[in-house]
Structure 1
Amino acid sequence: MCARIASPCVGLCSTTLGDPVCRGCQRTEDEICAWMALSAEQRNRRIAQLDALRERVAARFLRVTDEACLEAQLRRHRIRFRPEQPPLSRAVELLRVGRDRIHELPRYGLVPLGSAAALSAADLHARLSEQLRVEADERRRADRVPLPRH
């Protein structure tokens, strides 16, 4: 019996549409292609980096006030998450899937911050997604810059 291979894939790969960074999981097209060849340690390290990116970006817009409520809503709506996945990374998934159905974020254990308080869940998701795309693309470009030789 084969063990399940951990992946940040959310089934929304925009690299097939020509994006150099996936809008769903924030991996580069090269990372997606090479994913199966990575060791479990390398995959886990990259998943942790992606969670940290989502946490950093989401923290500009949201605060988790009730982790148990957030988890219950994820389960209720059958949204996949990993046990070790940080709450703000989980919130990004909740908004991705439920952005058109969520009307009151506090009922999901979330509170929008600052100017995000005036946004609908769909608009909040759009802003989060755009920031995630920008920061993931900046990382991709930085990784491709050759280091100076000494």
Structure 2
Amino acid sequence: MSGRVVSPCVGVCSTTLGDRVCRGCQRVDDEIRDWPALEAGQRGDRMAELDALRASVASRHLRVVDAVALQAQLDRHRIRYREDQPALSRAVELLRVGRGRIRDLSRYGLEPHARLDAETLHERLAEELSQAAEARRWRLASII
């Protein structure tokens, strides 16, 4: 096993403020705490689950029309992403970081389903992600 622990953390941990689910990465507080102890396969499964959650929510509001442009903008703005991360999950992070500066979503390879600016689009995504992550928390709790 490598010494590096890959994580969905985006450096905005709201669990330190008392949230049970992080607004940044959508992980449950216990999951964040236990993350370093998980085996690589378990982390990979959880990251795929979180990516699917983000992609599902994001797909309700936008689509990626140019994955190359999206990646170029992520690189240009030094926004972290993983090579295996789906484009819609990457788009969520782009909007989180750049929502106040993005004027033309098409330059970022994104096409919203409705005429929304990046700020409003991010607000809707953040709210729906929060709700979906909370529902995920309840599912995880019922498994234990």
What is the TM-score of this pair, normalised by structure 2? 0.95
- Cα distance, 1:139 vs. partner? 1.3
Larger radius of gyration: 1
Q: CA deviation at 1:4?
A: 1.5
User: What residue in structure 2 maps to residue 145 of structure 1?
Assistant: 142
Q: How many residues align?
A: 143
Q: What secondary structure sits across from 2:36 in the alignment?
A: helix
Question: 1:131 aligned to 2:128?
Answer: yes
Query: Which string of whole-angstrom CA distances, capped at 9 and with x for unpartnered residues, describes residues 24-82 of structure 1?
Result: 00000000000011001100110000000011000000100000000000000000100
Query: What residue number does 1:109 align with?
Result: 109
Where does structure 1 lack aligned partners over 5 or more consecutive residues?
none
CA–CA distance in structure 1, aligned partners of residues 82 and 69 of structure 2: 16
Structure 1 Cα separation of the partners of residues 99 and 139 of structure 2:
31
- The corresponding residue for 1:5 is 5
Corresponding position of 2:19: 19
Which residue number in structure 2 is paired with residue 56 of structure 1? 56
The 4+ residue runs of structure 1 with deviation greater than 6 A are none
2:123 is paired with a residue of what secondary structure? helix
TM-score (norm 1): 0.92
| Gap regions ≥5 residues in structure 2 | none
Identity of aligned residues (%): 61
